[in-house]
Amino acid sequence: MEFISKLMIAAASSGSGKTTFTMGLLRALRNRGLSVQPYKCGPDYIDTKWHTLAAGRESVNLDIWMGGKEHVRNVFDKYSREAAICVAEGAMGMFDGYDKAYGSSAEIAGVIGAKTILVVNAKSAAYSVAPTIYGFCHFSKKYGTEIAGVVFNQVASENHFTFLKEACNDAGIECFGYIRKEKDIELPSRHLGLTIDERFRIDSFIERVAKMVEETVDIDRIIEATTMPVTHKALENSLQHIKKLHFPFFPELCPKRIAIAYDEGFNFTYRANIDYLKDTGADIIFFSPCKDDKLPEHTDLLYLPGGYPEFFLKELAANVSMKQSIREYIEQGGYAYAECGGMLYLCRSIIGMDSQKYEMVGALDVTGTFEGMKLHLGYRELQMQTHEASDSIRGHEFHYSDILIHETADSSIGVQYSAKGKEMKTKLFRYKNLIAGYTHFYWANRCADES
């Protein structure tokens, strides 16, 4: 019989230290020579980059609202097949979902059959953590998951840890250890492009946290407490093969070569989305809008994902040949899909954080701006109506920029709603065979198996 360790790292609230602990644990396991597969609950495409750096294996999103429970279960199983340990990082608090606890880390843990490690911020607290731990342990049973034990963060001393262990004992839950309170241990900002310099800084941070985790957390006991048999049913469910691409915006298209922008400025993608495109048999070519001089030859679908174009506006503006290549492709009727940062790149221009205007591709008659930056975020569901039928697709919106719409800009091809059903102002533009908007859509669950 095969065995695997499956654990969910959750917390009482955001800011408890679960990301720091997750990255430290991932790197510590990797340093031991173990094959570890990271996951991230929710639509976050930044933490997955950090997980990938820490584990040496690409992280995968698990999102019930965007994909559904069965899809989440199959995705988890698919990417777990070559791993000895699977580590999923939760989002926000353990029971925070799109509607009460629906879609939360607790519900996802139950769906994938993982045991939970609860990270508790012990700053300015001691024995008082006992009722919090007790409540979380008993409430978790409602969602079919079990808290295997606790790891404390921001622990000031061994004496402090003694009180915390006593709290665990009286709450009836195992304590796996703690992370010390360190003044110069600070999580690097997530709003950074993954340049070589930033990768080095993040990697150094991860390695330092990994050493702390090795010193004060019982990793062997965590593995032991979260190890369980691998079920053949789970493996069978994960073996899906897509025979035909069902891309929601271009249902008539069966591309042979898909060009995907991927560099320091454009890298916000969902792994399952990319693998979905690969599984159709299409030839996937990655290119850099910053450094390459033209689109890959014989492209019949262009995908421009989101990222950090605001940090590379000078490079993007100066690469005239690439801008011309993309503009000509779109003007000639080439199929293209762009989201968030990729959409901004297709604008007439972008007003940067320095208030300077930078000329972009010019395929869309809109201007992007980073002046007066304001966060826009939340789940989105697009309702589309075509000549043949209606369709919908779900995704997530997260950006600080805005767009200035000119009179000649096309109107949105559909209406977008929040997870609560509220109509949103977010537009999705169409120009010839280009679809572009702010929402990061999730299509990996849209299988069209013709077997």
Contact by Cβ (8 Å): 55, 30 = yes
Say which of 175, 340, 347, 447 is annotated catalytic.
340
Give just the sign of the alpha carbon dihedral 407, 413, 414, 416: negative
Q: Is 68 left (phi over 0), alpha (psi -120 to 50) or beta?
A: left
Residue 168 falls in the annotated catalytic set: no
Residues 265 and 307: their CA atoms lie apart, in Å, by 5
**What is the spatial distance between Cα 23 and Cα 4, in angstroms, rounded to a whole number?**
20
Supply angle C-alpha 216, 163, 221, rounded to 5: 35
Phi, psi of 98 (to 5 degrees): -75, -25
Q: Which residues are catalytic?
A: 340
